[in-house]
Homo-oligomer: A and B are copies of this chain.
Amino acid sequence: MIIILKPNTNEMQINNLIEMLKTYGVTVASINGKHKNILGLVGDTSKIDIETVKAQTIVENIRRIQEPYKSSNRKFNPEDTIIDINGKTIGGNKLQIIAGPCSVESEEQIIETAIAIKEAGATMLRGGAFKPRTSPYAFQGLHADGIELLLKAKAVTGLPIVTEIMSIEHLDLFADVDIIQVGARNMQNFELLKALGHSDKPVLLKRGLANTLEELLMSAEYIMAGGNKNVILCERGIRTFETQTRNTLDISAVPLLKQLSHLPIIVDPSHATGLTSLVEPLSLASIVAGADALIIEVHNCPEKALSDGAQSLTPQQFSDVMAKIKPMAEYIGKEIS
């Protein structure tokens, strides 16, 4: 940590600050220049309350050098985390293909879709029972009934299920869900993250619309700090000024998160742009960039979908995309299973 002091700070003030900093057990070096005085801190600075230091009158600015995330930091955990999902694994040399509709709408819809995606090669089933919709007047999901239907689809196909949670109050309903998803809008719903930290369910944590990778890792940290190490990061597009796509897929997030963290990374090429025609190229790009899994929207009848129909693939389209994904996975040495 580097502390830049204001000009015209006197020696006594500096010494007082140094003494205060030393109480945190760090080494402090003082560099005195004509215009600027700088303090360099070495050691474990993670215990230092950066807000308190920043608020000292003689402090002009602070530059952190160490990353603020620990449990999710690859420096402290060099080995890739591999998460077990009912016998399947996310991370390592596997590529999981999670597919399914935006919302669970009916028994027929979810089971038909589940069978179709399994046939095409998907390894897990997604579907929303609680839907975060911008408008209160839009379809909000089937709630408990939706989870019931997902479990039926799981019983029929054997596919593990992924579904989104929107409130701590509903946690009990997720007892048989295989992966609990935290949506982009809840990435910094810290109370929800804390509650999931006390669970042992794998959590698929989506990056917020305008959140940095460091903030994503800090949100992972909230879950991990509670004891739950089963966190899967998800890049799903960020908000930019571009208007042709719903969001902008930050493909660099995949290799960069792999460097910064040991956690597995998923890409959602459907929400990333909102355009079905881009699902195939973005899926392939994500795979070669290092993604551990893809999560793709597929609906047995997009024309009748109650949400996101326009960005959902039909089972046939999904099957066509899978025909490109499978050999690419094989080519780069990843197994879909």
Inside 8 A of A36's CB, which chain B residues have their CB?
42, 65-66
Q: Can you give 20 contacting A-B residue pairs, CB < 8 Å?
A: A2-B38, A29-B29, A29-B40, A33-B42, A34-B43, A49-B138, A49-B306, A51-B305, A51-B309, A56-B303, A136-B190, A136-B225, A137-B221, A185-B188, A208-B210, A214-B244, A240-B241, A245-B256, A255-B281, A285-B286
Say if the beta carbon of A252 comes within 8 Å of chain B: yes
Inside 8 A of A175's CB, which chain B residues have their CB?
none
Smallest CB-CB separation from A166: which chain B residue? B191
Q: Mark A295-337, 1 if CB is under 8 A from B, else 0.
A: 0000000111111111010000000000000001001000000
**Given A51-B138, A241-B210, A288 and B42 contact (CB-CB distance below 8 Å):** no
Say if the beta carbon of A282 comes within 8 Å of chain B: yes
What is the number of residues of chain A that contact chain B, defined by CB distance less than 8 Å?
A: 104
Q: Which candidate, A92-100, A109-117, A120-128, A271-279, is the interface stretch facing chain B?
A: A271-279
Say if the beta carbon of A212 comes within 8 Å of chain B: yes
Smallest CB-CB separation from A331: which chain B residue? B331
Smallest CB-CB separation from A30: which chain B residue? B29
Alpha-carbon gap, A264 to B115, bound state (A): 40
Say if the beta carbon of A10 comes within 8 Å of chain B: no
Smallest CB-CB separation from A240: which chain B residue? B240
Q: Chain B's nearest CB lies how many Å from the CB of A233?
A: 14
**Given A54-B310, A132-B190, A244 and B256 contact (CB-CB distance below 8 Å):** yes
Inside 8 A of A238's CB, which chain B residues have their CB?
240, 242, 248
